[in-house]
Amino acid sequence: MATSQLEESDVPWTTAPEHARELLRELGVEKGTRMWNLSVEYARKHGLNGDISRQPKSVGAGSVYLCGLLCNKKTSQREMEDLTGVSPATLRESYLRIGTAEGYFDERPVPGDDGGGGE
């Protein structure tokens, strides 16, 4: 029997797309804009399928932050923390994972690997 991917309506708790939409409203981003649509799409794609290994709030915040950078509507990591409770370190990890999965960034190096050949 084939398994289907989760749909947003199948999950009884607050999902990453719900967090993204709430944050977008708080930031004053209009529904239907490129930033709104991409943020919700990436939050749905990476939050519901679990490929980012983060809490829904972190995936939602990471999606919004990444799309703000892509759409030239930057918000500081500190402001994102104030609005969401997601720490800057977690926000960075989330948006970098989403951005890498979407092909915006090259594969990220392993922390501590300086590429120096071990010398």
Query: Quick check: 48 and 11 in contact, CB under 8 A?
Result: yes
Note the pLDDT of residue 113: 38
Q: Provide the residue ranges of all domains of the chain, joining segments of one domain with +.
A: 14-101
Note the pLDDT of residue 49: 76
The answer for residues whose C-beta is within 8 angstroms of residue 72's C-beta and 6 or more apart is none
- Identify the CATH assignment for 14-101 out of 1.10.443.10, 1.10.472.10, 3.40.50.2300, 1.10.10.60: 1.10.472.10
Q: From first to last of the 119 residues of the chain, give the pLDDT tens digit.
A: 444 454 545 544 589 999 999 999 999 999 999 999 999 999 999 988 777 778 999 999 999 999 999 999 999 999 999 999 999 999 999 999 999 999 999 876 444 434 444 43
Note the pLDDT of residue 14: 86
